[in-house]
Chain A
Amino acid sequence: EAEVAQSPRYKITEKSQAVAFWCDPISGHATLYWYRQILGQGPELLVQFQDESVVDDSQLPKDRFSAERLKGVDSTLKIQPAELGDSAMYLCASSLAGGLAGGLVPYNEQFFGPGTRLTVL
């Protein structure tokens, strides 16, 4: 069964350092999402891509966070510099189509990767 891949699974860094997370969505999924999940809460959207274009990054702290999906397949999320409050689980998800651009499918069935647990010391 196809799965969303993420790496690394765990990352420990010191504040002010740079970190990067990688995601490979399910093959053929045009839409890719990065979520942040704080312990005890549900996932919160950071950024959504439709192919290589950003559809929604309104919740992305752009002073320190950046995301790219250059070829419309895999994606990288970067934090520079990391702060203590960035400690969280970073989840990547993909779907056939969805979001503001509408889609070929009527429902946004998302599939999540295993996540990257970030600890900032």
Chain B
Amino acid sequence: GENVEQHPSTLSVQEGDSAVIKCTYSDSASNYFPWYKQELGKGPQLIIDIRSNVGEKKDQRIAVTLNKTAKHFSLHITETQPEDSAVYFCAASIGSYIPTFGRGTSLIVHP
């Protein structure tokens, strides 16, 4: 089955800096890669996703890149703010099948 590795497990940045979270996947058939943000005590919220037919997608301060050859994808957050502090999960799935989640990255943005 699919295996998703996520790094780093913890990321600490100063407000205004950029943050990058990286994930790798094992199944070359995976074609859908969502990213979730989970704030303390809440369920994961979908913040951005990318499909295998594109290499990059951007939404305001967040962007995701996908390298199908290397089987890795990354989340980029620019101009970080304290409210970006949360746990971020990547996931990979094949079509409409159940996604496999990474173990999560705890992002801490210091004011």
Contact = CB atoms under 8 A, between A and B. Distances in A.
Interface residues of A, number: 31
A103 interface: yes
Contact of B98 (A41, A98, A114): A98
Q: How would you classify the secondary structure of chain B's contact residues: helix, strand, loop or mixed?
A: loop
Interface string A2-37: 001010000000000000000000000000010000
Contacts of B46: 109-111
B69 to A, nearest CB: 21
Contacts of B49: 107, 109
- Give the interface SS of chain A, mostly helix, strand, loop or mixed: loop
Nearest to A55: B98
Contact of A113 (B31, B43, B99): B43
Given A114-B43, A115-B42, A98 B97 contact: yes
27 contacts: A4-B43, A33-B98, A40-B104, A42-B103, A43-B44, A43-B89, A56-B98, A91-B44, A93-B43, A98-B96, A99-B97, A102-B95, A103-B96, A106-B95, A107-B32, A107-B95, A107-B96, A108-B32, A108-B95, A108-B97, A108-B98, A109-B34, A112-B36, A112-B45, A113-B43, A114-B41, A115-B42
